[in-house]
Amino acid sequence: MTKTILTIDDSRTMRDVLRMALIDAGFDVMQAVDGVNGLEVLAERRPDVVITDINMPKMDGFGFIEAVRRDEQYKNLPILVLTTESDDAKKARARDAGATGWIVKPFDPAKLVAAIKRVAA
């Protein structure tokens, strides 16, 4: 069965790159432009894994992760952070919020796909 991935990033270019890499790897892809839009998309259809940026308008990745984790039905939903940030304090904040993993941009598509397969059980 094909896994569905929700990507959340305010950069159209990054959304396009993610979409192509994930479709090429055989995943279905849903996309959102920020955390607020991500919650709207999540309410429509449940993905197998979420990949979110941190720095976005309206609602950043931290806010998105915290909002998702407050909802009991999503407590086990894997959430990978994909960001240009590499600061240990931000990594700790994401982990404390409920992130499953952290990947720094620019990313290697093969490593991203491997991370998804690892957490998508």
pTM of the model: 0.95
Q: Where are the domains of the chain?
A: 4-119
Q: Which two tokens stand for residue 108?
A: 């290697």
CA distances from 54 to 8, 21, 28, 73 (A): 9, 20, 22, 22
Residues 8-38 have pLDDT tens digits of 999 999 999 999 999 999 999 999 999 999 9
The whole-number pLDDT of residue 85 equals 83
User: Please, what CATH class does the domain formed by 4-119 belong to?
Assistant: alpha beta
Q: What is the pLDDT of residue 1?
A: 72
Q: How far is CA 115 from CA 19, 63, 65, 96, in A?
A: 16, 22, 18, 19
**pLDDT tens-place string over residues 64-118:** 999 999 999 999 999 999 988 888 999 999 999 999 999 999 889 999 999 999 9
Question: How do 101-104 and 49-52 pair as beta strands?
Answer: unpaired
Identify the band that residue 58 occupies on the pLDDT scale cut at 50, 70 and 90: very high
Q: Which of 77, 82, 64 is nearest to 17 (CA)?
A: 82
Helix or strand or coil: residue 84?
coil
Q: Which residues make Cβ contacts (< 8 Å) with residue 41, sequence separation at least 6?
A: 6, 30, 31, 32
